[in-house]
Amino acid sequence: MSGRFITIEGGEGAGKSTAQAFIAGKLEQQGCSVVCTREPGGTPLAEAIRNTLLSLKGEAPVDMAELLLLFAARAQHLAKVIEPALARGQWVICDRFTDATFAYQGAARGLSCEAISSLESLVQGSRRPDAVVLMDLSPEIGIARARARGELDRFEQEDRAFYDRVRVGYLTRAEAQPARYSIVDASQPLDAVQRDLRHLIDQWTSHG
């Protein structure tokens, strides 16, 4: 079975990292070779950009600088990690990718979708995720889950209205591209979330 590029999206504290570990474990049980990675990040340079973007210290980037830094990190991550893994036939399970840019920098910060689409084409060429898992959760619950973990980063300081726009941004994209997106109700207990994820894994592997 050749590998696929799967991305996991959603708001803060929606359970993306938990879902990523679960999906990777199930695929490995079926004999798939899996690379788990994340954005922004995934290489030393891209992780350094992540630290800059999330830090509350120093000069905060203006919105356009934030967008360009995200795509700089993505270019590095694609060239060094994602494309080589897919070329080897591995599955790549990525915690956030460009759909996050449309939701956060587009829908929530108000940067133009056309600008983001242009950067997407420039940086990614024709590369798009084969499947996007949207962990959908009300910001109220997600923020409470994330805050229970302690210190907040720069994005986690945003207000409720920002996170409402992120959620609407994701849901609007998912509704426009139903073949590529699967929406998982992330407010369910973990065993129900994992049951839904198992159905998705079955679909991906049966089209192998």
What's the one-letter identity of residue 97?
A: F
| Residue number, 39 or 136, with CB nearest to ligand Z5A | 39
User: Shortest approach of ligand Z5A to residue 137 CB, angstroms?
Assistant: 8
Phi, psi of 187 (to 5 degrees): -85, -10
53: number of CA atoms within 13 Å, CB side? 23
| H or E element in which residue 95 lies | strand 91-95
Provide the 3-class DSSP secondary structure of residue 121: helix
User: Shortest approach of ligand Z5A to residue 102 CB, angstroms?
Assistant: 8
| Residue number, 95 or 136, with CB nearest to ligand Z5A | 95
| Residue number, 1 or 68, with CB nearest to ligand Z5A | 68
Q: Give the range of 7-15, 56-64, 81-89, 112-120 binding ligand Z5A by CB under 6 A.
A: 7-15
| H or E element in which residue 7 lies | strand 5-10
DSSP class of residue 109 equals T
Under 8 Å CB-to-CB from 207, ≥6 apart: which residues?
none
What's the one-letter identity of residue 145?
A: R
Per CB under 6 A, does 136 bind ligand Z5A? no
| Residue number, 93 or 100, with CB nearest to ligand Z5A | 100
Count, residues near ligand Z5A per rule CB under 6 A: 25
User: Shortest approach of ligand Z5A to residue 42 CB, angstroms?
Assistant: 10
Considering only residues 145 to 174 of the shown chain, the ones binding ligand Z5A according to CB under 6 A are 145-146, 155-156
Under 8 Å CB-to-CB from 32, ≥6 apart: which residues?
1, 3, 90, 91, 205
Q: Give the range of 84-92, 100-108, 123-131, 175-183 binding ligand Z5A by CB under 6 A.
A: 100-108
Considering only residues 9 to 68 of the shown chain, the ones binding ligand Z5A according to CB under 6 A are 10, 12-18, 39-40
Per CB under 6 A, does 96 bind ligand Z5A? yes
Per CB under 6 A, does 190 bind ligand Z5A? yes
Which tokens in the block code for residue 43?
A: 């290489």
Q: Which residue, among 202, 200, 190, 207, has the nearest Cα to 8 in the 3D structure?
A: 200
User: Shortest approach of ligand Z5A to residue 189 CB, angstroms?
Assistant: 6
Where would I find the H helices in 94-189? 98-101, 113-124, 139-147, 160-176
Residues interacting with ligand Z5A, by CB under 6 A? 10, 12-18, 39-40, 70, 95-96, 100-101, 104-105, 145-146, 155-156, 186, 189-190, 193
